[in-house]
Amino acid sequence: MPEGSSGTTTATFTVSLSNTSSGAVAVNYATAGNTATSGTDFVAASGTATIAAGLLSTTINVTVNSDTTFEPSETFFVNLTNPSNATLSDNQGVGTIVDDNAPVLATEENSQRAIALNSIFLFRDPFAITNPAFFGTDQRTRVALFATNLTLTPGLVVTAEAVDSQQTTHQLQVEFAGSLPGFPEITQLNVKLSDGITVAGDLQLRITVNGRTSNVVLVGVKP
């Protein structure tokens, strides 16, 4: 289920019988965290679910807390115990909270221009496409971008692409992603300007994380 960005949403679980019963069927239920955390990602719930005589199912509702943080999808459990007038063939339901937020690249106030720095010398754009002072045989300039709404987790894949002033699209290698010292809510991303970028002007740059694409920002380059 989509997580949402504000307020709460409801995850609904269905408890079903294989056949109707002449008497009421009851079963205890309780939520449990997995990668989702009780109290943070969802509201703990417990109680008794009852299926009235002659009916096949009832539902259990669990409240999911929304947020605006980009994060992987998370799961939690609804465990069933102590059935009355029935036996359990499956005692656990799995709820998946699907993140629907996107990372945000930082820009200047009231502008689409990125807050971006040369990753070695820390000056602003426009950036020279080639950086002879770079330590190594590869002398392409590296650009530091800054993102919010992005939680770094093991295995997270961040990609970047840029469209140059000739409307040619370039894939940019993301060489580093880490929290900015002193500002844990901000993620620094170092990207390498690709060999195919040869013309001066603004790059229209964006990142994609787990299928979620950021806003488009402008970064100036020069030969």
Residues 130 and 206 reside in one and the same domain = yes
Q: How confident is the model over 206-216, as a mean pLDDT?
A: 90
Give the DSSP letter string of 130-173. B-TTSSSS--B-EEEEEEES----TT--EEEEEE-TTS-EEEEE
Q: Are the C-beta atoms of 131 and 140 separated by less than 8 Å?
A: yes
Question: How many angstroms separate the CA atoms of 31 and 47, rounded?
Answer: 10
Residue 117 pLDDT class (50, 70, 90 cuts):
very high
| pLDDT surpassing 80 at residue 10 | yes
Residues 93 and 129 reside in one and the same domain = no
CA distances (Å), origin 18, targets 25, 39, 57, 77 = 12, 33, 9, 22
Question: At 121, which CATH number?
Answer: 2.60.40
Q: Has residue 2 been placed in a domain?
A: no
Q: Has residue 1 been placed in a domain?
A: no
| pLDDT surpassing 90 at residue 181 | no
Q: What pLDDT, on a 0 to 100 scale, did the predictor assign at position 70?
A: 57
Three state DSSP letters for 123-138 = CCCCEECECCCCCCCC
Residues 147 and 189 reside in one and the same domain = yes
The closest alpha carbon to 19, from 94, 79, 85, 82, belongs to 85
| pLDDT surpassing 50 at residue 4 | no
Domain final residue, candidates 40, 67, 97: 97
Question: At 28, which CATH number?
Answer: 2.60.40.2030
| pLDDT surpassing 70 at residue 124 | yes
Strands of 74-84's sheet in order across: 46-51, 25-33, 74-84, 92-97
Note down the domain range covering 120. Answer: 104-222
| pLDDT surpassing 60 at residue 37 | yes
Report how many domains make up the chain: 2
The radius of gyration of the chain's CA atoms, rounded to the nearest angstrom, is 25
Residues 115 and 32 reside in one and the same domain = no
Domain final residue, candidates 97, 126, 159: 97
Residues 114 and 212 reside in one and the same domain = yes
Residue 48 pLDDT class (50, 70, 90 cuts):
very high
**pLDDT tens readout for residues 138-172:** 788 999 999 988 878 777 889 999 999 999 999 99
User: Structure pTM?
Assistant: 0.61
**pLDDT-above-70 percentage for the chain:** 91
Residues 39 and 79 reside in one and the same domain = yes
Residues 172 and 214 reside in one and the same domain = yes
The closest alpha carbon to 103, from 214, 186, 5, belongs to 214
| pLDDT surpassing 50 at residue 3 | no
Q: What pLDDT, on a 0 to 100 scale, did the predictor assign at position 135?
A: 64
3-state percent helix, strand, coil for the chain, nearest multiple of 5:
0, 50, 50
CA distances (Å), origin 69, targets 8, 45, 152 = 14, 24, 11
Residues 118 and 79 reside in one and the same domain = no
Residues 144 and 162 reside in one and the same domain = yes
Of 207 and 181, more confident:
207
